[in-house]
């Protein structure tokens, strides 16, 4: 099976178009619902045949679901490692489903149903992981899109549900609503002013948690944080969303305040640092992923502070995705060594910035 993401509008990265609210600080919003098909063992304990039957049953139901445009199923278990890494880097599937975690080898029956802005992972930790990705800070819109598909799908396929506990999931941390709502937020101001530790500690007191760019277990790079609800049971979906909206709104205010303080107290130092980041990205001949992320973080801050003009947030967002190793390999049409990847990354970033260079100042 070959992977053709061009079938999706904008290759499945429309959530990076910076069209949503507060998109200079919040890159994207993601909401996911975990569900299991009744009558089968959960994915981790199911046999190959059971997972394949789950896949067939879900595919049949998804194909006739109204309102899922331009959608198609990708059998992850039939893809090579390069294509699987590509899907993961594009945030369309989890690392576990892509079979890229040493403790979770690729599973028979692993698949993803892709549609514009919405994807359904099949045979992840749970049989069904419905997820909606939106640009900017748009939690209610992301949930609304998902809620409709969840009802439609649940009306055709029986989900495991307990009258008291709610939706049943493999991991008890997801039981109840099965909902994890998260925002991918860029907080360089709070990191530079060293306020971040306090803000993150505050999140945990409010029942929220944070992770790195790639979700569970990933490190924080480039000052990007994923903030999400920690509990899924005992509160309604709306309550959980309202809480997250309130707290993230507050974090955005703190970030904006930190940026004002930086400009006021150390204006020229910040300006120099950020232009140096831009200069490095524009002229470097070799860039590691972490370097690229950190300099891109600086340039993003400079654009937010209007110190650098004429560079679009969309371009910066796309650089985050397309400068990753599997994307660079795909663009070159062959697998690259680590040093070749670093050279290709610098070349890619340089070209992308050159295309907009005429208007940058």
Partner 1 sequence: MLCDNCHQRDAVVNLTTIENNAVRQLHLCEQCAAERGVETSVATPKHPLGEFLQAVQQQSVPASADAGKCPFCGLTMKDFRATGRMGCARCYITFEPSMRELLRRVHGSPRHTGRPYRPPKDEVLERASVLGELRERLRRAIEQEQFEVAAELRDRIRVLE
- Which positions lie near partner 1, rule CB under 8 A? 36, 38, 40-42, 44-45, 56-57, 60-61, 64, 125, 147, 150, 154-162, 164-173, 175-177, 179, 191, 194, 196-197, 200, 204, 209-212, 216-220, 230-237, 265-266, 268-269, 273
Q: Under a CB-based contact definition with an 8 Å cutoff, are residues 9 and 122 in contact? A: no
At its nearest, how many Å lie between partner 1 and the CB of residue 127?
11
At its nearest, how many Å lie between partner 1 and the CB of residue 11?
28
At its nearest, how many Å lie between partner 1 and the CB of residue 182?
12
Whichever of 115 and 226 has its CB closer to partner 1, that residue is 226
Whichever of 18 and 258 has its CB closer to partner 1, that residue is 258
Whichever of 78 and 147 has its CB closer to partner 1, that residue is 147
Angle ∠(354,356,358) on CA atoms, nearest 5: 90
Measured between its terminal Cα atoms, the distance across the chain in Å is: 46
At its nearest, how many Å lie between partner 1 and the CB of residue 153?
10
User: How many Cα atoms sit within 13 Å of 169 on the Cβ side?
Assistant: 23
CA-based nearest residue to 346, from 297, 274, 295: 295
CA-based nearest residue to 328, from 343, 315, 316: 343
At its nearest, how many Å lie between partner 1 and the CB of residue 283?
21
Whichever of 236 and 359 has its CB closer to partner 1, that residue is 236
CA-based nearest residue to 245, from 92, 22, 35, 91: 22
Whichever of 170 and 252 has its CB closer to partner 1, that residue is 170
Whichever of 6 and 103 has its CB closer to partner 1, that residue is 103
Q: Which residues 6+ apart lie within 8 Å of 111 measured at CB?
A: 55, 59, 73, 74, 75, 76, 77, 121, 122, 123
At its nearest, how many Å lie between partner 1 and the CB of residue 192?
8
CA distances (Å), 288 to each of 254, 268, 323, in order?
31, 27, 10
At its nearest, how many Å lie between partner 1 and the CB of residue 307?
16
At its nearest, how many Å lie between partner 1 and the CB of residue 27?
17
Q: Under a CB-based contact definition with an 8 Å cutoff, are residues 306 and 298 in contact? A: no
Distance CA 262, CA 286 (A): 30
Whichever of 210 and 322 has its CB closer to partner 1, that residue is 210
Distance CA 169, CA 284 (A): 47
At its nearest, how many Å lie between partner 1 and the CB of residue 83?
26
Whichever of 258 and 353 has its CB closer to partner 1, that residue is 258
CB atoms within 10 A of CB 273: 15
Give the distance between the most distant pair of CA atoms in the chain.
64
* Count of all residues that appear for the chain in the document: 361
DSSP conformation letters of 152-168: HHHTTSPBPEETTTEE-
Q: Check residue 91 and give left, alpha or beta (phi > 0: left; psi -120 to 50: alpha).
A: left
Whichever of 27 and 313 has its CB closer to partner 1, that residue is 27
């Amino acid at each position: 099976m070959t992977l053709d993401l061009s079938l999706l509008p904008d290759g499945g990265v429309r959530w990076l178009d910076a069209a949503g609210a507060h998109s200079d600080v919040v890159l994207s919003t993601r909401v996911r619902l975990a569900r299991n098909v009744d009558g089968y063992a959960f994915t981790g304990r199911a046999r190959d045949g059971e997972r394949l039957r789950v896949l067939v049953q879900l595919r049949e139901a998804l194909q006739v679901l109204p309102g899922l445009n331009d959608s198609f199923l990708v059998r992850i278990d039939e893809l090579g490692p390069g294509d699987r890494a590509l899907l993961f880097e594009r945030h369309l599937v989890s690392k576990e489903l892509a079979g890229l975690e040493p403790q979770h080898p690729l599973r028979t029956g692993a698949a993803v149903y892709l549609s514009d802005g919405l994807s359904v992972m099949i045979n992840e930790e749970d049989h069904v992981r419905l997820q909606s990705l939106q640009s900017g800070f748009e939690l209610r819109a992301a949930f609304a899109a998902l809620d409709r598909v969840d009802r439609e799908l649940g009306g055709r396929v029986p989900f495991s549900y307990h009258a008291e506990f709610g939706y049943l999931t493999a991991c008890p941390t997801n039981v109840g609503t099965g909902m994890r709502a998260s925002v991918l937020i860029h907080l360089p101001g709070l990191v530079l002013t060293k306020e971040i530790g306090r803000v993150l500690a505050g999140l945990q007191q409010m029942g929220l948690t944070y992770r790195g760019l790639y979700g569970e277990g990933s490190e924080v790079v480039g000052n990007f944080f994923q903030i999400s609800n920690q509990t899924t049971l005992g509160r309604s979906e709306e309550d959980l969303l309202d809480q997250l909206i309130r707290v993230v709104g507050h974090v955005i205010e703190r970030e904006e305040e930190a940026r004002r303080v930086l400009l006021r107290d150390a204006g020229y130092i910040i300006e120099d640092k950020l232009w140096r980041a831009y200069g490095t990205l524009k002229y470097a001949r070799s860039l590691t992923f972490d370097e690229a992320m950190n300099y891109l973080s600086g340039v993003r801050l400079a654009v937010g502070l209007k110190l650098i003009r004429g560079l679009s947030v969309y371009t910066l967002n796309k650089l985050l995705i397309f400068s990753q190793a599997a994307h660079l390999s795909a663009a070159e049409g062959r697998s690259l060594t680590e040093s070749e990847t670093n050279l290709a990354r610098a070349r890619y970033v340089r070209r992308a910035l050159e295309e907009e260079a005429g208007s940058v100042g």
